[in-house]
Amino acid sequence: MESRHRKSDQFDNLDKHTQWGIDFLEKYAKFVKERIEIEQNYAKQLRNLVKKYCPKRSSKDEEPRFTSCIAFYNILNELNDYAGQREVVAEELGHRVYGELMRYSHDLKTERKLHLQEGRKAQQYLDMCWKQMDNSKKKFERECREAEKAQQCYERLDNDTNATKADVEKAKQQLNLRTHMADENKNEYAAQLQNFNGEQHKHFYIVIPQIYKHLQEMDERRTIKLSECYRGFADSERKVIPIISKCLEGMIAAAKSVDERRDSQIVIDSFKSGFEPPGDFPFEDYSQHIYRTVSDGTISTPKQEGMKIDAKTTVGKAKGKLWLFGKKPKGPAQEDFSHLPPEQRRKKLQQRIDELNRELQKETDQKDALIKMKDVYEKNPQMGDPGSLQPKLTETMGNMDRLRMEIHKNEAWISEVEGKVAARGDRRHSSDINHLVTQGRESPEGSYTDDANQEVRSPPQQHGPHNEFDDEFEDDDPLPAIGHCKAIYPFDGHNEGTLAMKEGEILYIIEEDKGDGWTRARRQNGDEGYVPTSYIDVTLEKNSKGAVTYI
């Protein structure tokens, strides 16, 4: 009995162990579930972070152009892909690990319950056999005692001389009956004992070991399943490592794509004005009236009076040009850009004409498309009503007329600018040497480019009130020398209208720098042209009208 109870205790221990195994399995499943939630939240937070810092592009003009910005947005895209891989990890863990664990836990509980039920049934059956054997044993023991009593009674009566023969015979029959009952109970007890011993042997050597084996196999499969899930837990992460590596490589490539020179060039191209830098401030010689005489100069007095330029006026002009790089003048910009220098005004007008032509072309294309659609509707009324297109067509035609008027108005303004430049060029050069040919928007060589980096500084051009006294000069009269200059640096003079010079060469000054950085000079052989003021050391004659000395 003690051995049987020990065996029963072992079965209870296995019951507890298998329950612990299932609890541990579910504990690990809970751990995986929380890890999945962490991955999902991490991916969600990463995506929100990317969305927060991605540019909100309402138009193409707001698209980033700097390489550093483009690189950052590429990194955001890679980070978004990285967040997607975290979602893949969560999905893989949920399907391959957590889902598998929950399914297996359910099957494990069912299998464990079945094995434990079989064990309990086997134990109950063995207990039943033991009770039957014990009952037969107790009954056999009781019958043996009754037989002993019957034998003692018979022997006592048989030896008693006073006892009648009938009492002796009755005692003998009672003895035989009890002996027979004892023998039957003995046989029953022997059979029950043999049966119990057989069932007990079967129970402990066949049934219970088989149940224990099933429980052991179940527990080992549970351990194997945990091992597989441990591996799947790691594999879920390892699978995305190549893609995550590509994301990180993309971030590194984005970092390497940053080009500081290109970004600087974008800034330069965005903010360059196209205006010429201001020229040097001339020396204001307030003593010029002391040394000058009326008879000085080679031109007549009316012309001298016409060319007399007040130093304050000259300085005022120079200061007036500084607004392009410093403070802007007060008041709104003019529609015809008359507040700009001629070259810049022509450039702005030409840009506006080009833009208007593009808009006109769009309206023309739209008009053609509407006419074709109207023609289709007229031929196939089921496709649409031709009259529904008339309002849009009328609006388009009105827009085209408006754009043509705008183009015509701006072309008139640009023609005005080009006419002034042409007139100025004719006045500045003799009829025999036609250096400057007015061809629309021109630079000193007679050509113009829209690229501000390729623009060449134009020779000085007078405009405004000076155009009036310029007309007093005869075209064929050569301008008098008002001073001389020495070339500090060599100048190639490739552009038409300019004059080449060598370092140290002495030239005559026939026209001062009007604030645009060019000075008109003449060689001794009569060649004339413009040279950069910053390339020469100028000395003007004190007795020349309007002459000042450059320091």
Question: Any idea what the CATH number is for the domain that residue 417 is in?
Answer: 1.10.287
543 versus 387: which is more confidently predicted? 387
State whether 50 and 131 are in the same domain.
yes
State whether 494 and 415 are in the same domain.
no
Confidence of residue 524 (pLDDT cuts 50, 70, 90): confident
Q: Is 106 helix (H, G, I), strand (E, B) or coil?
A: helix
Residue 90 domain-assigned (yes or no) = yes
Over residues 401-409, mean pLDDT: 89
Phi and psi torsions of 486, nearest 5°: -120, 130
Over residues 278-284, mean pLDDT: 73
pLDDT of residue 468: 41
Residue 184 has which token pair? 């039957």
Residue where a domain stops, chosen among 207, 242, 262: 262
Task: Report the sign of the C-alpha dihedral through residues 257, 260, 266, 269, in that order.
Answer: negative
- Per the structure, the count of domains in the chain is 3
Report the alpha-carbon angle 535-537-539, nearest 5.
Answer: 145
State whether 88 and 206 are in the same domain.
yes
pLDDT of residue 536: 92
Over residues 200-208, mean pLDDT: 91
CA distance 182 to 200: 26
For the purposes of burial, counting CB atoms within 10 Å of the CB of 102, is it exposed (0-12), middle (13-18) or buried (19 or more)?
middle
Confidence of residue 422 (pLDDT cuts 50, 70, 90): low
pLDDT in tens, 46-99: 999 999 998 876 545 555 678 999 999 999 999 999 999 999 999 999 999 999
State whether 92 and 179 are in the same domain.
yes
State whether 39 and 158 are in the same domain.
yes
Residue 476 domain-assigned (yes or no) = no
Centre a 10 Å sphere on the Cβ of residue 21 and count the other Cβ atoms it contains. Answer: 19
For the ranges 264-278, 367-381, 456-470, the lowest mean pLDDT is seen at 456-470
Residue 468 domain-assigned (yes or no) = no
Q: Is the pTM of this model over 0.85?
A: no
State whether 47 and 120 are in the same domain.
yes
pLDDT of residue 234: 95
Owning domain of residue 500: 483-540
475 and 483 Cβ atoms separated by less than 8 Å: no
Residue 439 domain-assigned (yes or no) = no
Residue 221 domain-assigned (yes or no) = yes
State whether 72 and 188 are in the same domain.
yes
State whether 98 and 208 are in the same domain.
yes
State whether 362 and 505 are in the same domain.
no
User: What separation in angstroms does the CA of 366 have from each of 71, 275, 284, 362?
Assistant: 39, 38, 61, 6
Confidence of residue 541 (pLDDT cuts 50, 70, 90): confident
Q: Is 44 left (phi over 0), alpha (psi -120 to 50) or beta?
A: alpha
Q: Look at residues 420, 497, 498, 413 and name the one whose alpha carbon lies nearest to residue 463.
A: 420
Checking 136-139 for CB contacts under 8 A at 24+ apart, the result is 136/185, 136/188, 136/189, 136/191, 136/192, 136/193, 137/189, 137/192, 137/193, 139/185, 139/188, 139/189
CATH of the domain at 87: 1.20.1270.60
State whether 154 and 258 are in the same domain.
yes
CA distance 296 to 148: 180
pLDDT of residue 526: 85
DSSP 551: -
Confidence of residue 302 (pLDDT cuts 50, 70, 90): very low
Residue 457 domain-assigned (yes or no) = no
State whether 6 and 79 are in the same domain.
yes
311 and 282 Cβ atoms separated by less than 8 Å: yes
Residue 543 has which token pair? 């007795």
For the ranges 75-84, 204-213, 425-434, the lowest mean pLDDT is seen at 425-434
Residue 530 has which token pair? 């413009």
Residue where a domain stops, chosen among 205, 238, 262: 262
DSSP 498: B
Residue where a domain stops, chosen among 370, 388, 422: 422
State whether 394 and 511 are in the same domain.
no
DSSP 94: I
Task: Report the sign of the C-alpha dihedral through residues 149, 155, 156, 162, in that order.
Answer: positive
Confidence of residue 513 (pLDDT cuts 50, 70, 90): confident
CA distance 133 to 113: 30
Residue 443 domain-assigned (yes or no) = no
Residue 295 has which token pair? 């008879």
Q: Is 183 left (phi over 0), alpha (psi -120 to 50) or beta?
A: alpha
208 and 169 Cβ atoms separated by less than 8 Å: no
Indicate if the pLDDT at residue 265 is higher than 60: yes
Residue 207 domain-assigned (yes or no) = yes
